Every structure is written in C-alpha cells, then in structure tokens.
Amino acid sequence: MRLSEYLFQTHREPQGEAELISHQLLLRAGLVRQVASGIFAYLPIGQRVKRRIEDIVREEMDAIGGQEVSLPVVQPAELWRESGRWQQIGSEMARLKDRNDRDLCLAMTHEELVTSLVRDVIRSYRQLPCLLYQVQTKFRDEPRPRGGLIRVREFTMKDGYSFHADADDLDAWYDRVYEAYANIFRRCGLDAVAVRSDPGMMGGSDAHEFMELSPSGEDTILSCETCGYRANRQVARCRKTPPAREDQLPLEEIHTPGTATIDDLARFMDIPKTKTAKALFMVATMADEQGAAVDEQAAVEKTVVDRFVFAVLRGDMELSETKLANAVGALQLRPATPEEIRAVGAEPGFGSPLGIDRSRTLLVVDDLIPSCFNLVAGANRVDYHVANVNYGRDYEADLVTDIAAAGDGSACPSCGSALRADQGIEVGNIFKLGDKYSKAMDTGYLDRENVSRPIVMGCYGIGIDRLIASIVERHHDEHGICWPVSVAPFQVILVDLSGGDPHVSDVAAAVYDDLAEVGLEVLYDDRDDRAGVKFNDADLMGIPVRLTVGGRGVKKGVVELKVRRSGEMIDVPLGDGLAEAVKKVLTTCL
C-alpha cells in the first residue's frame, strides 16, 4: 500500500485535551479521530490494527469450539422486560421508539437476545454445550467518557455466551475460556492478570476481570505476593482483627463543636479513629417485588423503588459501595441529600444509628462493628457526639456483613500478609451467569430422563477498543507507538528517499514488489516529503521494521533497516536475501 494514496494525517503536537499517552498517540499517529465525546472513528491504519486484534480473538475462540454469530445492536424492549433489566438499567442504556411507538434500545450487551435465540433452537441435552460469540458494536451512554479508547460510549466488543446442562460443565468451559483469554492477551503483547471481580448488572455467581497493570488504569487491584490472592478493590476482602474486649460503659453525650468529620472528631477527643463509628447515608435503587406482582403492564413502571440505606463502619475504614450494593441488592447507589438524611432522624456530619426512624431505614453494619466496644458515634444533632456506643446493647442492624473497602497494606484475607495496590485497565471479563437469564426467559432443555431443566450459562467479554489503548499504554516510547508485530498495521514501512532520482525510485519500487511477493505487509512511503518528516511519521505509527532506500545506500548496494523498538540500524544488501533478512528481524520483535 502506497502511503501517498492513504487517508492519513499525523500531528506533531498533542491533540485537544487528550491526557493519557494512548489517547495522544492514537490521535497524533492518525489512527483514530474523535467524532464526539466517547465516540471515535477509525481511519485506515487504525482499522488495520483493530482487524488484526479481532482476528487473534476469533482464532482463539474458534480453537476452543466457539461459533461466530452476528446479533443486532437495536433490540426490542420485550426481551429486556423478560429478564427484568429494562426497568433496572438506568440512563446508560439508550432507549428509542420506532415509527409504531414500540420501545427499542441500543444494546449494551446481548444476554437477552442470545438467550432468546437459544430458546428457539436448543431443545435437548444432546445440543449442549454450545459456545456462541460475536465481534459487535455496543453503545453505553457513559456519563464520563475518558482516556480516549479506555472509556467510550460506542465500542466494539467480543462477547461470547456458553450454554450448558449443569454447573460442572460450565466450570470446565469457564476454565477453557480463561486459558483462551490468556492466549489472546499474550499474543497482543500484554501481561494481563486475572482478578476476582463484581458480576455487576450481569449477575451470576462468579466473575473474573483480566487487568493490564498500568498507572493509567482506573481500577485498583489488590494482590498478595505471599499466597497469590488477587481481586478488584470493589470486592476485595481483607482480614479484620477485632480489638481487645472491653466492659461496656454507659452512654455519655459530649459537646464536640466543629467535628463533622472522623479526622476532626479524633483530634478533638484525642482518640484513635479505631475508637469511632463512621456513618454513611446512601439511597439505593432496588427491585420492588410487590410492585412487580400487580399486573404485567404496571410492572414495567413499578419494579424499582428507592430505599434509604444507613451504613456504619469503624472510623478508620472506608465504605465499599460495591459490597454495600451487593449486600442490599441495590441496582444503583447514590449519596443521600441532607434533606433525606434529616427525614429519617439523622444529622449530616453527626449521624449515628441511635434513635433514627427504623421504619424508613435499612441499617447495614460492617461485620467488625459488633466486635468493637465503646465507640464514639454521632448524637444526631449538630456539634454533639455520644461516647461508649455498643452494638447489640444500643442498637441492632437489619444486616451485618462485610462492607469495608480493602486497601494498600490491608491484611490478606487468605494469609494475613500485606496487600499491594496497583492500578489496572480492564481488558476482558468472564462471568458464570448460571440460570439467571434462562429461568427469567423460560429457556430450558430436556435431560436424559426427558425432564425439563434450565440451561446454565456463561458470559465472556473483551473490549477491542480498550485493548488497543492498553497495548499503546504498554508499548510506546518518546517517539511514538511501538506495536508488537502481532497487531501492527503493517510489518514493514518502506521509506523512499529518492529525492527525484528515477533510478533510486525504481529500486525502492522493486524492493516493495519483492517484499509484497513473499507475503510481507508493507506500507510504501512514496510521498514527496523531507526525510525527517517520513522518519518521524514512521516512528509515530510504530511499524516494527523501517527500510530506507536512498541514493547513498543504492550506490553501496544496501538498504538501511531500523528496528523500531530497539532503534538498532543495520545495512542489508539489496537482492534476493533482503526479504529473508527482514523476516528474521521480525521474529525477534514482540
């Protein structure tokens, strides 16, 4: 391919407000163009990278028995109502109506549609297991797109769905997909690690995320170097050591002016934060089972309600909103407003579970609190706290469970060693969905005894765009991108420095033809431009090998070969051995 014929433009300086290096380089190298917030167009060179990654994904999915399908992005609301998610998913799902006033949506994911497809086709255990996958466009109306391709609204995903007769068969296939994912990321030049994660809106019993460790990542991964425990901070556990037992002392109200935070309170009373109780006020959007039972039409409008949630932790700990949401079955959580807090009898900054309106409150207490004695908690009036508050004597919760966030230095739940925190980019995820969707959508099969049973499902996703950004975050230098050979848009960039000399130009064209004839993918930079511009563009695009044909080299019978990643330059003789020399160098590149 001749670069002079390509839709192509590079930029010397960072574009717009791009902050992450991947965002900057993908724009500067002319691989993508931003159309709107969180929406990008791929230009020809970028599309070649994307296609190569998709090919790797397809090869690995096919290798474990996957069957590729293509499912529509626009889907009828009826399928999502069957699963219950039409009401449960908020504004991140784009909804629309057709000309006949029927509700439709732009799919964020395809569990409902693929379940309905299988419901119409699979009848017997003889048709199981089955793994379907697609590489398809999705749309999620992210409130805060960021990082270029890291968090976008329109994106390309490989999503796969497996169908099984029982949980044991799902477990076996889950491991197969796990290994296929490891192969995909390795072939793309990444060292992604698998961590336990929150199933989120997907539901199910178990989930893992594949994380590429990177300072640019927005996820925090906690890991133990001693025993290998590893989890996303959203769901990571930690070992909590209860304090020594104390005699319970009488309640005592104390005037504590200007102490609306735990730090202020600890300083004012000269006590450690471990002797305080932290109150947090949230509003949970939850499924309303009673509303759903009224009638089918009313259920569409009445299947979610808001519930005030009062969470209590020890003062030195932070709340994990994911753990709290999972504990109470919340679809969404948001901070309560001061008006909502006061409506249940609490006071912002001075709140405690003492004396609140329990009929309007779901009280959730971290599982360490019952083992803590004589804590200082809010008095539910401004500038006052109560000392010697004890769980069980002074109040009881609706739910006692782990809602504390683990952090850097927390004790590993398995062995007690200190956990280490790292940032990571999520590049893939796998879920054990179980029978969540098959039961909701009446999707079953007949077993060997001719008994109808729900199909057991798994779900597996890889974000192609995020994978591209992660590769650039890992593989770049001060000059531009350094693509691994496996995903590079071309293997070789051939730079013509003939400067108008027809003989040198003919030699360059002959080299291009010879390399293409043996199957090498070559981008021929035949533009009428300065050498510095061509070299800078070659480095910026990150093509693994650069060949330069110039007047001095032709006189000596050589071309200059540069390895993009290492910067090594060697002279390679013109002639039959050139292509083999290039192939040999390519085998040494990532």
| Residues 497 and 447 reside in one and the same domain | no
CATH value at residue 309: 3.90.960.10
| Residues 433 and 351 reside in one and the same domain | no
Domain of 143 in residue numbering reads as 17-71+108-214+427-472
Assigned domain for 193 exists: yes
Burial state string for 20-55 with b = 16 or more CB within 10 A and e = fewer than 16: bbbbbbbbbbbbbebeeebebebbebbebbbebbbe
The rounded distance, in Å, linking the Cα atoms of 389 and 22 is 51
Assigned domain for 221 exists: no
Q: Do residues 267 and 276 lie in contact, with contact meaning Cβ atoms separated by under 8 Å?
A: no
| Residues 436 and 396 reside in one and the same domain | no
| Residues 258 and 339 reside in one and the same domain | yes
The pLDDT, as a whole number, for residue 394 is 97
The pLDDT, as a whole number, for residue 223 is 94
| Residues 49 and 152 reside in one and the same domain | yes
pLDDT in tens, 41-95: 999 999 999 999 999 999 999 999 999 999 999 999 999 999 989 988 888 999 9
| Residues 383 and 267 reside in one and the same domain | yes
Q: Do residues 482 and 476 lie in contact, with contact meaning Cβ atoms separated by under 8 Å?
A: yes
Alpha helices in 336-459 (DSSP H): 338-343, 436-440
| Residues 467 and 494 reside in one and the same domain | no
Going by C-alpha positions, the residue among 168, 169, 225, 171 that lies closest to residue 193 is 225
DSSP 240-309: --PPPP-PPPPPEEEE-TT--SHHHHHHHHT--GGGBEEEEEEEEEEE-HHHHTS-HHHHHHHSEEEEEE
Strands across the sheet with 74-76, in order? 74-76, 103-106, 95-97
| Residues 462 and 385 reside in one and the same domain | no
The rounded distance, in Å, linking the Cα atoms of 276 and 372 is 9
Assigned domain for 502 exists: yes
The rounded distance, in Å, linking the Cα atoms of 549 and 578 is 12
| Residues 396 and 283 reside in one and the same domain | yes
Strands across the sheet with 304-314, in order? 330-335, 277-287, 304-314, 361-366, 399-401
User: DSSP assignment, residue 395?
Assistant: B
The rounded distance, in Å, linking the Cα atoms of 273 and 376 is 9
Read off the amino acid at residue 360.
R
Assigned domain for 134 exists: yes
Q: Is 290 exposed, middle or buried (0-12, 13-18, 19+ CB in 10 A)?
A: exposed
CATH value at residue 512: 3.40.50.800
| Residues 500 and 374 reside in one and the same domain | no
Assigned domain for 511 exists: yes
DSSP 137-195: EEE---SS-BTTTTB-SEEEEEEEEEEESSHHHHHHHHHHHHHHHHHHHHHTT---EEE
- Give backbone dihedrals phi and psi of 524, rounded to 5 degrees, phi first: -100, 105
pTM for this one? Answer: 0.88
Assigned domain for 4 exists: no
The total number of structural domains in the chain stands at 3
- Only one residue has tokens 């999503």, namely 159
The three state secondary structure string of 429-490 is EEEEEECHHHHHCCCEEECCCCCEEECEEEEEEEEHHHHHHHHHHHCEECCEECCCCCCCCC
Assigned domain for 410 exists: no
The rounded distance, in Å, linking the Cα atoms of 537 and 530 is 11
| Residues 30 and 64 reside in one and the same domain | yes
Longest dimension (CA), the chain: 99
- Only one residue has tokens 């956990």, namely 419
| Residues 135 and 259 reside in one and the same domain | no
Grouping H, G, I as helix, E, B as strand and the rest as coil, residue 504 is helix
User: Which residues of the chain fall below pLDDT 70?
Assistant: 199-205, 289-303, 590
Last residue of a domain, one of 439, 472, 505: 472
Going by C-alpha positions, the residue among 365, 57, 333, 107 that lies closest to residue 200 is 333
DSSP 320-340: -HHHHHHHHTEEEEEEPPHHH
The pLDDT, as a whole number, for residue 203 is 52
Last residue of a domain, one of 373, 405, 437: 405
Assigned domain for 358 exists: yes
